Amino acid sequence: MICVGLSATRLAHFGLVTHQFISDADVITQAKAEATTRAVQAMRKAHRLGLLDNALIGIGNAPTALIEIVRLIREENLRPALVIGMPVGFVSAAESKALLAQIDTVPWIAIRGRKGGSTLVVAAIHALLGLAESRQRNMA
């Protein structure tokens, strides 16, 4: 949902592309094989492909994806440029954001509690890109 909500023109201006692997057959198969979620396996696939270091990672719907990102940061030295963690829900949403808030090695943006969602992540990304565009115009 985040990928759909982002402006392709604005992303292209900064040379950014989006990725998501939640529906990939290998992700689904691996999630079943390891009794994990597709969200966890999608993050692992993105990491294996080298797409997460120096990346902007946005998570709006899957607390398990955010928990996996925190694990990758702590245990595998993942270093994204920014993590925006705003998963919504009752199961592990607040806990996943609390885990992110303990990270001091990479920048992050999160909201507390159970509220969140992809629309908030999209809004945060657009706000950041809007600030960057404004800065570019002021420096020109």
**Rg of the Cα trace of the chain?**
15
Domain tally, the chain: 1
CATH of residue 65's domain is: 3.40.50.10230
Which range marks the domain in which residue 93 is found?
Answer: 2-139
Residue 140 pLDDT > 80: no
Residue 1 pLDDT > 90: no
pTM of the predicted model over 0.85: yes
Across the chain, mean pLDDT equals: 95
Query: Per-residue pLDDT tens for 72-121?
Result: 999 999 999 999 999 999 889 999 999 999 999 999 999 999 999 999 99
Q: How far is the C-alpha of 134 from the C-alpha of 130, rounded, in Å?
A: 6
